A and B are shown apart, each in its own frame.
Chain A
């Protein structure tokens, strides 16, 4: 059976082992589709105001952008990746996945209402349970939170975090503050308390420019430079001592790539050696902390040639860091065939399923 991404190759010819897709998206079809899962006061509030839902998703993923959905995965009159049957026919069945982790970026962070944002998060999580998790045992999911309010976020994690289908708390990578800062401790405490991974996902709302410095002019520019935002958040978590405060915290990085990890790690190591008196809680080389506490999805990979990319994978210094993902329905110019060629043979089962199985306790 062939499908998009496989480019005519047979799935089992390409990889005969098991597959866990650690990043497939579920898009909310419309605000009305959440009404069954929404408290009446917010249903009427939505209708009364004629509100169409948070602006965040349209900002992170402009509907018509080629990167937002592969043409094979667009359907007339329907939001891509908005129904289970789409995910099943596009990914779960042709890829014969063991498990897939559903991520719904609905831009709840772009809603500043202190009560509506948590209410909307509850609606989305109940919608994920009812429309996705309960209907296909292959699925696991990230729960969504009102990320700009850590106390409310922790309450939502405790409300639904024990559901066996939820394996991760989604944090949009853009935020008004860096995630290592102590104001976010309630989120990490709740995540570790519920044995959940914290997953950084593309999207989010800042109080200032969405890049680490200044506004970009073009979407392509913003999209290509998104690595900087991931770097800023992960560096913050390393130097703030988040992993010393929460030694069992596991972080997954989605849609952030991984080719930059070695150079970023080396840079943190160098700076730490000379400046570490400032953050004495960072008790070992930052790159060791990265290896112990972070995993990276491979969509996008954005790699160079096979030979160049082999070096990058070698520089990671661990075969455990990468997790296969399609990032359905987004379009990336990656080739799984090439990625499998890049990683050592002993790493391939880890890449395709075992690292995710271990990280998410699947």
Chain B
């Protein structure tokens, strides 16, 4: 663990809502995808038919760069030879093993036991209501064996605004633990659990551009502690 970052930990980061202006809606990449880095956390933002969604760029399976994967629709079937595309169901498929995650909820999709299990009411709303809902924790999340971390994105005026709570995560749980336990970090590892927990101490509004890769920092990006350091 990085001793310096530990001493700088905010007293109660878990209840603080952080908001980041990413870019004007009009400048959002035509590809529908923007990967930003916020204090060492790589986050993918997706524009799907005018709705914005965000996902931590780290697959909970083995830590792959989830947000680089393809956005696909669910394929429904009643039997051999029958296939229809469910264009109302958007999935993000990890480029490493093609495991799919519901882009709205982060729920793993390969296990069909969860296929129709939990409808979600997550919607993006404009303006101040977004911050209120996220702050109140009223946006539902499904607990599951593999669940990508979703981060709500709001459209505020003509800007894409990324909202996320700084949540300290106990070691051995959550997204960071999934990668850490495997010993296979992603090439663009977004950071250790400790780093993520301390990443968002100060709200920041940053002028943005429409480049595909945007880095938003409110302080110098944290670098990963060397593996040998105790």
- A-side residues, CB < 8 A to B, are 182, 240-242, 244-245, 273-277, 280-281, 283-284
Q: Are A280 and B77 in contact (CB under 8 A)?
A: yes
Which residue in chain B gives the minimum CB-CB distance to A272? B110
| Most B CB within 10 A of own CB, among A245, A280, A283 | A280
Partner of B112, one of A242, A274, A283: A283
Tell me if B99 and A281 are in contact (CB < 8 A): no
Q: What is the interface of chain A mostly: helix, strand, loop, or mixed?
A: helix
The answer to whether B110 touches A245, judged by C-beta atoms less than 8 angstroms apart, is: no
Q: Is the CB of B99 within 8 A of A274?
A: yes
Beyond A244-B80, A281-B82, 4 extra complex contacts between A and B, CB < 8 Å: A241-B79, A245-B79, A281-B78, A284-B113
CB distance from A177 to the nearest CB of B (A): 15
Question: In whole Å, how far is B177's beta carbon from the nearest beta carbon of chain A?
Answer: 21
A-B contact pairs, 24 of them (CB 8 A): A182-B81, A240-B80, A241-B79, A241-B80, A242-B80, A244-B80, A245-B80, A273-B97, A274-B97, A274-B99, A274-B110, A275-B98, A277-B72, A280-B75, A280-B76, A280-B77, A280-B83, A281-B77, A281-B78, A281-B79, A281-B80, A281-B81, A283-B112, A284-B113
Q: How large is the interface on B (under 10, 10 to 19, 20 to 34, 35 or more residues)?
A: 10 to 19
Please name all residues of chain B whose beta carbon is closer than 8 Å to the beta carbon of A245 when the two chains form the complex. Answer: 79-80
Pick from A182, A276, A281: contact of B110, CB under 8 Å? A276
**In the bound complex, CA of A280 to CA of B77 (Å):** 6
Determine whether the beta carbon of A277 is less than 8 Å from that of B75. Answer: yes
Q: Which of B76, B78, B99, B112 contacts A284 (CB 8 A)?
A: B112
Q: Determine the chain B residues whose CB is within 8 A of the CB of A182 once the complex forms.
A: 80-81
Which residues B65-115 have CB closer than 8 A to chain A?
72, 75-83, 97-99, 110, 112-113
- CA separation between A245 and B82, bound complex, in Å? 11
Whether A273 and B99, one on each chain, are in contact in the complex, defined by CB atoms closer than 8 angstroms, is yes
Task: Please list the 9 inter-chain residue pairs (A to B) with the smallest Cβ-Cβ separation, ordered nearest first.
Answer: A241-B80, A280-B77, A274-B98, A280-B75, A281-B77, A273-B110, A274-B97, A244-B79, A281-B80
A216-B112 Cα distance, complex, nearest whole Å: 41
A241-B78 Cα distance, complex, nearest whole Å: 10
Q: How far is the CA of A339 from the CA of B204 in the complex (A)?
A: 69
Bound together, the chains give a CA A276 to CA B72 distance in angstroms of 13
State the Cβ distance, A351 to closest chain B Cβ, in Å. 30
- A180: nearest residue on chain B (CB-CB)? B80
Docked pose: A206 CA to B58 CA in angstroms: 48
